[in-house]
Amino acid sequence: MIEMNEKLITTVAEVIDATAGMEVTADTLALQTAELSAQIGEAVFTANNAWMMLATALVFIMHLGFAGVEAGFGQAKNTVNILFKNTLTPVIGIITYYIVGFNLMYPGFDEPGWFGFAGFFLSLPEGGNTVDYAGGGYTYWTDFLFQAMFAATAATIVSGAVAERIKINAYLIFTVIFVGIVYPLIGSWKWGGGALDAMGFYDFAGSTLVHSVGGWGALAGIIVLGPRLGKYVDGKVIDKPGSSVPLAVIGVFLLWLGWFGFNGGSVLSADPGLTSFVLVTTCLAASAGAVGGLVMGYIVFKRLDLGMVLNGILAGLVGITAGADVIEPGWALVVGFVAGLIVVLSAITLDKFLLDDVVGAVSVHLTCGIWGTLAVGIFGNDMPFMPQLYGVLICGATAFGSALILFYAMKATMGIRVSAEHEKSGLDSQEHGIRGYTIIYE
């Protein structure tokens, strides 16, 4: 692109000079060409960075989406507790990523490895805010903030699964360690140029590195915590109606909107061709996921299940995230549709094992994250399958093992579950002193 711009500038300059009847030397023309080329480079750099900052804002708004989904699917008596967790999660994610996470995830490996660390806090490198940084895609500060949004997202996934019975201090401690250490360490193996990257593992925007990592943490959490009181009685699944279906729908559409930044921003520039292609495959997969959720929900439950349609949308989004840039639109429909089918089957399977997931986070982010990562090796253009499988296994073992150790350690020392009395009466009144929904009659 730069060579084309230089040729165009040279041609335009020659035409202008010839028309004006000016005599210029080759050195003067070369200097003018270089100056114009630099100006164009700065303009492209500014456009790239502006798009990346917008993408960062879109990913940030996903936290409101997660809050809406969790609060909508959760019981009214726990609304404030749910919103409290979802408010502090991005706070913790941003701060821990600033202190340790960013430099752990991007340590600057001399050669592909499994661990590296570039030191605590941020330090502006030479050229960090100029076109010399990251190929002119964005500044150092934008780089940090965009990646910090991803880190906080991984922890938010856990929140929805363990809702309504986890102690708030246990959740916050888990979030600090999981976001600050576990997530960036695993991310460094691919996005930081580590060992998985050298193996040929591919994950465009995080079906594994973000979503299934968070999903593995969620699975560990619900295993150690156990189900909510009264969820499973005599082998039957007892529905616990959510507080607000409209809020859940709003949350899902906010997440879909945020995915324009999540996947679109992962192009890491405002490249018009690739960015638009990624957004098309993303939206096609989400739409197909909704259809898959609708179909399988009707087959299994014999009703038009809105919850399964909503989770089908999210399943399609998670499924396409690993290969949104290398899977053709037609195959993106297949990836999304299959994700919509398996998210329903996954939710049913978890219930059979008495694993209580309030919002379906494990099914959406773990099950469909695995599917999406493997789908790259099936439908991606010239993408091998085995590195995808190895990546899923290695990241899964690390994320699940780390989360399991954290939850069991906290359970043995400080306890992680609220009392039965508090769970029955609701966490809002017991831990926060206010309710999420209050109707006052005068």
Q: What is the DSSP string of 317-354?
A: HHHHHTTTTTS-HHHHHHHHHHHHHHHHHHHHHHHHTT
pTM: 0.91
Instruction: Tell me what pLDDT residue 1 has.
Output: 45
CA-atom Rg of the chain in angstroms: 24
Select the more confidently predicted residue: 300 or 435: 300
Rounded CA-CA distance 411/225 in Å is 9
Q: Is the pLDDT of residue 21 over 50?
A: no
For the chain, give the percent of residues with pLDDT over 70.
94
The three-class DSSP label of residue 171 is helix
The three-class DSSP label of residue 236 is strand
Rounded CA-CA distance 264/376 in Å is 17
Instruction: Tell me what pLDDT residue 147 has.
Output: 96
- φ, ψ (nearest 5 deg) of residue 433: 75, 5
Would you state the structure tokens that stand for residue 354, as one six-digit string?
């008495």
For the chain, give the percent of residues with pLDDT over 90.
82
Section 246-271 average pLDDT:
97
Min mean pLDDT across 119-128, 262-271, 316-325, 336-345 is at 119-128
Instruction: Tell me what pLDDT residue 35 has.
Output: 80
Largest CA distance in the chain: 94
pLDDT band at 19 (very low <50, low <70, confident <90, very high): very low
Label residue 21 exposed, middle or buried (CB < 10 Å: 0-12, 13-18, 19+). Answer: exposed
Percentages (nearest 5) of helix, strand, coil residues in the chain: 70, 0, 25
The three-class DSSP label of residue 231 is coil
Q: Where are the domains of the chain?
A: 38-231+248-432
> Within its chain, how far is the Cα of 73 from the centroid?
20
Instruction: Tell me what pLDDT residue 311 has.
Output: 97
Section 116-136 average pLDDT:
91
Q: Is the pLDDT of residue 4 over 70?
A: no
Cα-based distances in Å from 418 to 73, 107, 173, 414 = 20, 39, 15, 11
Q: Which among 229, 278, 224, 255 has a CA at the least distance from the CA of 51?
A: 278
Neighbours of 240 (CB within 10 A): 15
CATH topology of domain 38-231+248-432: Ammonium transporter fold (1.10.3430)
Total length of the chain: 442
Cα-based distances in Å from 96 to 8, 28, 71, 266 = 47, 52, 25, 21
Helix axes 168-177, 386-413, angle to 10 degrees: 140
Q: What is the DSSP string of 144-164?
A: HHHHHHHHHHHHHHHHHHTTT
Computed over every residue of the chain, the mean pLDDT equals 92
Q: Is the pLDDT of residue 127 over 90?
A: no
Would you state the structure tokens that stand for residue 386, as one six-digit string?
């085995």
